[in-house]
Structure 1
Amino acid sequence: MATMYNTSRGPTWDPMVVEIWPWDGDGPVGRLELSEKIEVTWADRGSGTVLIESPLTDLTRSLIPADGAMLVVVNLNGKRHVSSVVEAVPFAESDQIHDVRIRVATASPWSMLEGQLIPPVPDQPLSLQQSAEEFVLTGPVETVVKRLVQLGAARLGHPIQVQPDTGRGPTVTVRSRNDSVSDLVDKALAGTGYRLRLDAWLPGDGPVGDLPLTRPTIIADVQPYRRQPGLVWSARAEELEKWQLRHTRATATRMIVGDKGEKTAQKFVEVVADDEPGSPWARREGYTSASSDGDDLQQVGLDELAKTGPVVSADIAASPAAVWEFGSDGLYPRQYDVGDYASVELEGIGSIEQVITEVTATLTPVSLTVVPKVATPDTRERDLYSTVLDLDKRLGQQQRR
């Protein structure tokens, strides 16, 4: 039986459209319907996913094997999510052995960056890698990130096209000796206020500049995080359920930096963080070394101290009014997206501004929910990322008719 969903835009039969496309095709082979659950995650720095629980049909059977032949394409309020299958599991339970179903997990284009490595001489044959100890790239963050993406995609033939470089952002340096493009991009972007957008182009879309596009392709661009006026939630407006802030001391406040010399020939300098606490109880030393003879040891130390400073993390549960919608089609008065700044006003603390780094939309036979997550994207180590806000925004309860 068809179901009407009540969304922020009003009643609709199709709040989220899911299609299956061939990787080299010019249109979908079918539309996925009557699934038990479809969970779609758009992510900033990291791989977005689609999780599908559905009956095994001719269409869902086309997702087997997990060889990249088929793509899952999701559209929600103008937001497109394109991903490839990483796991497909047909199964039947013991009490319903004739009811064959399938679970599918996919990964977004960021996962291609995770599978790309940058050797010391990335644009030459591997037999020539002994000519350099490591690959070093310095320049504006846009230039560096786009070059990394180009190198990685070219090595494996990934369907990624890069927008023209305009040289935006602060100067950064990355070094690689068979490191993944995803890790290098993450390090390059940290603290810059910029992000890597990986948007999907499909046959039927309009042209994108002078890029040669004929089949499903990812368009890479580097852009600053976006501010949305009025994207604020506060305790005073009763939009917060609970919250906490966690302050953690620095793991190192000064750094011993060694040059490239060996044993007794090695020289050292000490670099102290500008914001080292006045209390000696909080002082801590760390060690790092230069990676090449020409390195400025003072700068090496400062770069390392930037990774070891104090951390402030927050955990806030909110239930804001439904005045904002996840989307980009301009058909709702106020829309937010991954990569937007969001502010949360806390009593006794003030305003915390962080970035929407992830949005998960879940469609079931009874509801559609959208959960944006606001987190800290500028921490260099991903395991230090601190979630700042989980917003469980229910878009609609399904009514059966």
Structure 2
Amino acid sequence: MDGLRFVVDDKTGAYLRDVSGFDAQAVLAPNVIPAAEFTAPSDHAVAPLVTLDGARCRVFFRGEEQFRGLIQETPGEGPDGTVTARVVGDLQCLWSWYGRQVPTAPIVNQYQDYRTYSGPSETVFKNALRENFTRLGVPWTVAPDLGRGSQVQTQFRMHPLADKLIPLLDADNLTVVLTYIDDENGRQTGVVVDVREPDTVPGVLTLETGIPDSYTYTRQAPTMTRVVVGGRGEGVEREFIEVIHQAREAEWGMIREGFVDGRNTEEGADLTVDAYEALADGAARVGLNTTLVETARFVYGKTYQVGDLVSVDVAPVQTVQRISVAITETADEGVTVTPRIGELDETEDTDARLWRAVARLSRGIRDQGRR
């Protein structure tokens, strides 16, 4: 079956009903909470099921399960109207569950300033999840650690797990994958969390291939070429290190300094980890937003998956970026798959600038409020 199909379960994961053929849509992007919805007549048998407390949904496309999650919202109209079931994927749990200073201790014994995790980004991600899954008592586990990704360090003090961990994975193009464990009756009994490295779609997409549609682009100079990290200690006793990205300074012919406050790092910790993270954030950016067109050589689920990399050459931009997908289905137009690369262009979209500023501010406020 080519279209979207939805399987509705109760809060325990027991099967209730599956539906298809309705107006529906889904949005799938790497390390972003997936979302989908379908609209049914209010007198359809599925209507009372989607409004049950804790009702869940499994979302399928082209015969393959895409994600599962809670039916978060069910707006409707009556008496002879419609009801819409809006599903948010279980990845949202990583924003709803928090990393504690001492995950193994009760709330009255959170005596450490921070819980610090260091190592490859996959290792940091899985260790933080493992400790807090155990604390929560949820049937979630992590797959064996393969140590993929760059060396990173992060700290938790009642922060949402995703706030600290997802940016580390994004920097290494690692995509979170949730695999579900079902019993012999099809009832969900557990979730396994892993990451996957992206595949690269063969070839280069150009206007001549007919795959890219209209596009916007932007180019930004580096905001940082060298960084000082201030470590533990006070006054004259404080430790400082400096890391200089000499190749970047030579390429751009300029110096831009930055500072990172690393006073909360553990004694003896490698402060260069913080420096290299800051330099990565301050790198030059080439941004491209484009809507792609599905063709026989570019088909979701066959030649690429969400989070895979694609090379695009549309003058004057040559870049490699991850792929997202939007799926819509209507009675009039059938199924439409719209692949996309790039993020919202902050230079062109006022709302995007506002949303990103609020997100950064919110993370900063959360950090301040936990000290």
Sort the TM-score into its range (normalised by shorter chain): 0.7 to 0.9
CA displacement at 1:308 relative to structure 2: 1.7
What's 2:311 paired with?
343
CA displacement at 1:182 relative to structure 2: 1.2
What's 2:218 paired with?
246
Selected match of 1:118 from 99, 124, 128: 99
Structure with more helix by fraction: 2
Inter-CA distance 88–157: structure 2 relative to 1 (3 Å threshold): farther
What's 1:22 paired with?
10
Q: Which has the larger radius of gyration?
A: 1
Distance in 2, matches of 1:196 and 1:42, equals 12
What's 2:230 paired with?
258
- 1:108-147 correspondence runs (5 A): 108-130=89-111, 132-147=112-127
Inter-CA distance 89–171: structure 2 relative to 1 (3 Å threshold): same
**Contact 1:40/1:362 (<8 A) preserved:** yes
**TM-score scaled by length of structure 1:** 0.75
What's 1:314 paired with?
288
Distance in 2, matches of 1:305 and 1:71, equals 42
Unaligned runs of 5+ in 1: 1-11, 93-97, 206-212, 328-333, 377-381, 385-401
Selected match of 1:370 from 326, 333, 337: 337
What's 1:379 paired with?
none
- 1:2-401 correspondence runs (5 A): 15-26=3-14, 28-33=15-20, 35=22, 37-56=23-42, 57-65=44-52, 67=53, 69-80=54-65, 81-92=67-78, 98-130=79-111, 132-203=112-183, 215-230=188-203, 232-263=204-235, 265-266=237-238, 268-278=240-250, 282-290=254-262, 291-292=264-265, 293-327=267-301, 334-347=302-315, 349=317, 351-356=318-323, 358-366=324-332, 367-375=334-342, 383=356
SS at match of 1:335: coil
CA displacement at 1:221 relative to structure 2: 1.4
**Contact 1:236/1:347 (<8 A) preserved:** no
CA displacement at 1:297 relative to structure 2: 4.2
Q: Percent identity?
A: 22
Runs of 4+ in 1 over 6 A off after TM superposition: none
Inter-CA distance 161–300: structure 2 relative to 1 (3 Å threshold): closer
Distance in 2, matches of 1:46 and 1:224, equals 16
**Contact 2:151/2:273 (<8 A) preserved:** no
SS at match of 1:363: strand
**Contact 1:343/1:352 (<8 A) preserved:** yes
Distance in 2, matches of 1:268 and 1:25, equals 53
Partner deviation per Cα, 1:185-239 (whole Å, 9 max, x = no partner): 213324334322113344459xxxxxxx962533211221123435x42222333
Inter-CA distance 83–257: structure 2 relative to 1 (3 Å threshold): same
Distance in 2, matches of 1:311 and 1:99, equals 52
Structure with more strand by fraction: 1
Unaligned runs of 5+ in 2: 344-354, 358-371
Distance in 2, matches of 1:284 and 1:48, equals 38
Inter-CA distance 186–25: structure 2 relative to 1 (3 Å threshold): closer
**Contact 1:88/1:102 (<8 A) preserved:** yes
Partner deviation per Cα, 1:54-90 (whole Å, 9 max, x = no partner): 222342222225x4x2211122124312111222223
Question: Match for 1:16: what amino acid?
Answer: L
Distance in 1, matches of 2:117 and 2:104, equals 13
Distance in 2, matches of 1:344 and 1:121, equals 45
Distance in 1, matches of 2:232 and 2:209, equals 57
Question: Match for 1:29: what amino acid?
Answer: L
Distance in 2, matches of 1:58 and 1:215, equals 23
**TM-score scaled by length of structure 2:** 0.80
Inter-CA distance 355–48: structure 2 relative to 1 (3 Å threshold): same
Give the alignment's Cα RMSD to 1 decimal: 3.0
